[in-house]
Amino acid sequence: MGYEKSIDAFGEAYRVIPGGVDSPVRAFASVGGTPLFIERGEGGYIYDIDGNRYIDYVQSWGPLIFGHCDKDIEAAVIEAAKRGLSFGAPTTLETRLAEEIVSLFDGIDKVRFVSSGTEAVMSALRLARGYTGRDDIIKFTGCYHGHSDSLLVQAGSGAATFGNPSSPGVPADLTKHTLLAQYNNIQSVAKCFEQSVNGVACVIIEPIAGNMGLVPATEEFLTQLRALCDEHGTLLIFDEVMSGFRACLKGAQGITAVKPDMVTFGKVIGGGMPVGAFGAGAKIMAHLSPEGPVYQAGTLSGNPVAMAAGLAAVTKLKHNPSHYVTLGNRAKALMKGFKSAANSVSIALETDVRGSMFGFFFSDTPISNFEEALQNDTETFAKFHRGMLDRGIYLACSAYETGFISTQTTDAMIEETIRAAYIVLQEIAESKQS
């Protein structure tokens, strides 16, 4: 495949946009080469400006569960846009989408819409602190909750430690109340509680982590986490920005018996438009302005175009729950094919699937936390990514991201992808022997 136009476009972008991209992962830094500049999407495919077609397993990092240019979502967006892009005033679309979410998630009585997942999490943390009157929060290494200051922290030398800023521009004072624990390790969480001087407001977790690769929390761990939060009067927040409506209709809560106190949403509830939300029981949400003292606002929150797209997407999912069976089966078939291809040339590969979400590591041991994920063979992943791209397969350009199946990803596409994986892995194995 030729990438000349994308190479030129990247050079032009680099001159006026930092790093040439508006989100760092898009830069292909961890896999090498030049990022593709996309011209359009159609169903399960994307097309770059060089005219190359790719089977798309990124799907805008998750929200396009019905693929690109879904007719129902497209029609809803066009109809809404004709009435006006934004009013800065309430519309009934907000209420209707909120009603759909509340009807599906136990323990959620009310939701507040925002414009991104980062904003949803940032607001949920503020509400948790305001509700409990405490400052400290616990998060897990490898779980990404957006780029707000208090969450941009890195682990110290211990299993659980107070966080230090992991980005210049983030004052230590803004992260000193963030404690870090190890995913799937309840002892590290208990240690964080012991270290907290004035009490922990909340524990926030991706119940199905999708930003260290796909690494689900075990049922035992979530059960223990719920008990620990109850013991300390701490709120448990499920960050379902990625897994909400993706893993299944009720997100992770349709898989685990553990119920959180608060949930954050994004991606799928926007149908491809910028949307986020956070929700909880009425008692907690009553602390949010204008009912309560915890302030949160946004001019474009609940804008009618995003609400129309989200309502169309969520309604289709609610009315067609069988989609999740098909999506799950195709994700399993894809990962089974990757595993067989790797086994055929003696390359170690670990895979996992949760609904329409899939992930794989070039590792000879299962991955249960970020520290283990960091040990996977990123050099092999980079070669695999490039080889698959050259054969028309668009995978996430990082070893620490999750892949997605859409309703437009056909069995034939899965088979084509597996055939490509056999060829690419064979080439990688031969290159290691030479």
Q: Which residues are catalytic?
A: 144, 239, 267
SS3 per residue for 352-394: EEECCEEEEECCCCCCCCHHHHCCCCHHHHHHHHHHHHHCCEE
Burial class (CB in 10 A: 0-12, 13-18, 19+), 379: exposed
Q: Encoding tokens for residue 348?
A: 């170690």
The CA-atom distances, in angstroms, between 322 and each of 161, 331, 384, 386 are: 44, 15, 32, 34
| Amino acid present at 331 | A
- Alpha-carbon distance of 320 to 335, in angstroms, equals 24
3-state secondary structure of 55: strand
- Alpha-carbon distance of 430 to 281, in angstroms, equals 57
Say if strands 350-354 and 136-140 run parallel, antiparallel, or are unpaired: unpaired
Helices (H), 205-322: 219-232, 282-285, 304-319
